[in-house]
Amino acid sequence: MANRHLLRSIAMQSLYEWDFRGKDEKKIDEIIRHNVKEFGPGVEDEAFVFYLAQGVLKNRGKIDQLIEKCAPEWPLEQVTVTDRNVLRLGIFELVFGNYEEVPPKVAINEAIELAKTYGGDSSGRFVNGVLGTIYREMGEPMKNDEKEEKKSNDKK
């Protein structure tokens, strides 16, 4: 498992635990430290996990509004804890992340993989649908950059 993927997985597991255990934001750092030790032995740089989980919590109000807007038939509390936190993580990277480090399509694909790994049978499709809607509403950032890069590579 690639290092960043493992760190995303630990961030998602930490958010799941935080959500499941009553949403006490004071405990997130403790939860992250425990999960890094438990699921990522040997991980030297846990800063990415803290960045993701704390970023999600800091922007949770805006993120949850996006989920409710893009999945109106699913009230947020009826979305499974796993899917809800995979979406939160994916939306954080998609909307608030640094595109130089994580391009939008990578953020979407990583969230879909987490949903397929930890969610139910339809979790991947659900996460893909919500994140795809948000990506399109954002104007598909970096899409033209990808087309230009492909054209450039095709000419070589």
Q: CB neighbours of 38 closer than 8 A, spacing ≥ 6?
A: none
Number of domains in the chain: 1
The alpha carbon of residue 11 and the mean position of all alpha carbons in its chain are separated, in whole angstroms, by 9
Whether the predicted pLDDT of 81 surpasses 80: yes
Rounded to whole angstroms, the Cα distance separating 52 from 5 reads 12
**HEC-encoded secondary structure of the chain:** CCHHHHHHHHHHHHHHHHHHCCCCHHHHHHHHHHHHHHHCCCCCCCHHHHHHHHHHHHCHHHHHHHHHHHCCCCCHHHCCHHHHHHHHHHHHHHHHCCCCCCCHHHHHHHHHHHHHHHCCCCHHHHHHHHHHHHHHHCCCCCHHHHHHHHHHHHHC
- Give residue 69's domain range: 3-155
Domain with residue 95: its CATH number is 1.10.940.10
Q: What does the pLDDT look like over 53-78, one tens digit per residue?
A: 999 999 999 999 999 999 888 888 88
Number of Cβ within a 10 Å radius of residue 153:
8
**Prediction pTM value:** 0.86
Residue 1 has pLDDT above 80, yes or no: no
The tens digit of pLDDT for each residue in 29-54 reads 999 999 999 998 888 788 999 999 99
